[in-house]
Amino acid sequence: MERLKTELCNITLDNPVIPASGTFGFGREFAELYDINILGTFSFKGTTLKPRFGNPTPRIAECASGMLNAVGLQNPGVEAVIAGELPRMKKYFHKPVMANVSGFSVADYAATCELLDREEQIGWLEVNISCPNVHGGGMSFGTDPEAAAEVTRAVKAVTKKPVIIKLSPNVTDIVSIAKACEEAGADGISLINTLLGMRIDLRSRRPVLANITGGLSGPAVFPVALRMVYQVAGAVNIPVIGMGGVSSAEDVIEMMLAGAVAVEVGAANLTDPYACRKIIDELPGVMDRYGIGTLRDIIGAAHK
Amino acid sequence: MKQSVFTVIKNEPLTETVFRMTLCGDTAAITAPGQFVNIALDGQYLRRPISVCDLEGDRLTVIYKAVGRGTAQMARMLPGVKLDLLTGLGNGYDLSKSGEKPLLLGGGVGVPPLYLLARKLIEQGKSVSVIIGFNTKNEVFSEDEFRSLGADVTVTTADGSYGVKGFVTDALPREYTYFYTCGPEPMLKAVYRATVTEGQFSFEERMGCGFGACMGCSCKTVTGYKRICRDGPVLEKGEILWNA
């Protein structure tokens, strides 16, 4: 459907809906339920240079209108992703996929991206400099403009694929980080990763999560995410992907009005495995209701 | 896995805090005892994973303990309430390894998934022994139900107020060909140490999705990383690595 199409770094998406990394695995569990080729694309499980088990359990806690996770980047490592996951994915997903990459040093990010750059199936590299659940890496690159720029430059030097930097909301001035990434050559920005939070069990009087803190996601974060997307989209000249608590076609449109060219859906996939399909199905009707001809027309409209 | 709407048919207390809910809906995706369903509840963000206790045509029975907001909400539900369920989750128990005299060991709310297992094993002509453990007399449930199936049932209570005093491991029979167990982790560890045959353990963990997408419930095993929700909840004795 033409009216749902959008561009992301010179690649046309059939629609703006993209399952977010960490909530969709490598797509397999969802491909058993529906044809995931209806998606704009999806961002696969955050991949690191070496395999990782992640944090001890409990890794999940609930809160009002959302959840906390402290998975800690469990993944099979980039070599297993290239040798196993990508060939398997070819059978059930036929569009360019978004590779989500994380690391613990600038060299880590560059080495992982260099390996993924050779993979034809990958359309974009989404570089996560914002994971709140790992120590000695992850978010520390996303909370300092200089470090964020350094990762961006290192990754850009090893790939021809569009590089999208995924930002952390756990900062005082997200616009300065986004601008630093843009100046360092980023092709796009995605935001927001989860907000740092915690829960305490009243019976045990101990933190619920083994990692003590975790990342908050779900509808609870939507207004924060929308505000940050609005601020960043208004300050940079590269495409912005909005995410954070998006659960409905209305949320997708709100994010696009704030300036997002595409929208990632995260926690909603965990509570309803059909969430993305429902959002895509509902978009045309919701657009009709609000007098929207094509989604391209409304990107950033709230800034005017 | 299947997502569908079920209707509450019956919801009754078995003890002060444990309830049995019978639901009507499409049960086709449920293929083995020991699998679970994931129930969406209004106002709670995450679904509630609850093991399947029994299954007969379009009737599904779950037994749950009201411990938090979600299960307390379930306890208040009246017949006619519609619930969104994901069914057919998890691997479930493998019945083919039971031998002729399987032993089933359950503790507290780990008892319910053993019911469908016992029924299926007895239907296959096996001689099934069941040991179910509770803290105290007024927490005991399901004893009569297991007896009606024709299982040899022993009840233990930690304070000795009913049945054998002690834990399920204090009542082990002399002879059994295989075992299946579900219960709190300290009990599972005791069963692991006290049993002399191979067996299968059903584990509990806080879950995000319940169908293998989020890696929220991963554990380390002898055969690699496993997701309790998808590759479990049942693990074989030989693959378990206990957390330090």
Q: Give the pLDDT of residue B140.
A: 98
A60 touches chain B (CB under 8 A): yes
A59 touches chain B (CB under 8 A): yes
- Residue of chain A with shortest Cα separation from B230: A29
Q: What's A277's DSSP letter?
A: H
Looking at the complex, report in whole angstroms how far the Cα of residue B226 sits from the nearest Cα belonging to chain A. 10
CA dihedral sign of residues A275, A280, A286, A291? positive
Q: Give the pLDDT of residue B244.
A: 52
In chain B, residues with a C-beta closer than 8 Å to the C-beta of A274 are 3
Structure tokens at A118: 């050779």
Q: Which helix (H) or strand (E) holds B12?
A: strand B2-13
Nearest to A252 by CA among A19, A52, A11, A8: A19
CB contact under 8 A, B45 and A65: yes
Q: Give the pLDDT of residue A133.
A: 72
Mean pLDDT of A192-213: 97
Residue A132 has pLDDT above 90, yes or no: no
Secondary structure E strands in A92-176: 97-101, 122-128, 163-166
Beta bridge partners of B156: B133, B164
In chain A, residues with a C-beta closer than 8 Å to the C-beta of B230 are 29
CB contact under 8 A, B215 and A45: yes
A56 touches chain B (CB under 8 A): yes
- Residue of chain B with shortest Cα separation from A201: B68
A52 touches chain B (CB under 8 A): no
Residues 6 or more apart from B175 whose CB is under 8 A from it? B101
Q: Give the pLDDT of residue A130.
A: 85
Q: Are B201 and B182 in contact (CB under 8 A)?
A: yes
* A136 burial via Cβ count (<10 Å: 0-12, 13-18, 19+): exposed
Average model confidence (pLDDT) for chain A?
Answer: 96
Nearest CB to A57: which of B44, B47, B206? B206
In chain B, residues with a C-beta closer than 8 Å to the C-beta of A23 are 209, 213-214
- Residue of chain B with shortest Cα separation from A30: B213
Chosen for mutation from A29, A65, A199 (greatest number of chain B CBs closer than 10 Å) is A29
- Residue of chain A with shortest Cα separation from B215: A71
Q: Are B93 and B237 in contact (CB under 8 A)?
A: no
**pLDDT band at residue A136 under the 50/70/90 scheme:** low
In chain A, residues with a C-beta closer than 8 Å to the C-beta of B44 are 62
Inter-CA distances, A91 with A99, A155, A164, Å: 17, 29, 26
Nearest to A196 by CA among A26, A70, A77, A288: A70
Task: Look up tokens 């930690």; give the residue.
Answer: B158
Beta bridge partners of A17: A263
Chosen for mutation from B2, B38, B42, B46 (greatest number of chain A CBs closer than 10 Å) is B46
Q: Distance (Å, rounded) from C-alpha A192 to C-alpha A178?
A: 11
Chosen for mutation from A85, A270, A274 (greatest number of chain B CBs closer than 10 Å) is A270
Could you tell me the pTM of the whole model? 0.95
**pLDDT band at residue A137 under the 50/70/90 scheme:** low
CB contact under 8 A, B216 and A24: no
ipTM surpassing 0.95, yes or no?
no
CB contact under 8 A, A273 and B86: yes
Q: Distance (Å, rounded) from C-alpha B238 to C-alpha B241?
A: 9
Q: Are A155 and A191 in contact (CB under 8 A)?
A: no
CB contact under 8 A, A270 and B208: yes
Q: Distance (Å, rounded) from C-alpha B12 to C-alpha B22?
A: 9
Q: Is A131 in the active site? A: yes
Q: Give the pLDDT of residue A27.
A: 98
Inter-CA distances, A10 with A17, A112, A241, A261, Å: 16, 23, 14, 12
CB contact under 8 A, A32 and B1: yes
Q: Which residues of chain B fall below pLDDT 50?
A: none
Q: Give the pLDDT of residue A138.
A: 64
Beta bridge partners of B39: B48, B85
Q: Distance (Å, rounded) from C-alpha A166 to C-alpha A181?
A: 10
Q: Give the pLDDT of residue A134.
A: 72
Cα dihedral B236→B238→B243→B244 (10° resolution): 160
Tell me the count of A-B CB pairs closer than 8 A: 91
Residues 6 or more apart from B136 whose CB is under 8 A from it? B157, B158, B159, B161, B162
Q: Distance (Å, rounded) from C-alpha B224 to C-alpha B220?
A: 6
A77 touches chain B (CB under 8 A): no
- Residue of chain B with shortest Cα separation from A218: B45
**Of A113, A131, A181, A276, which is the active-site residue?**
A131
In chain B, residues with a C-beta closer than 8 Å to the C-beta of A62 are 44-46
CB contact under 8 A, A60 and B86: no
Nearest to B111 by CA among B45, B50, B69: B50
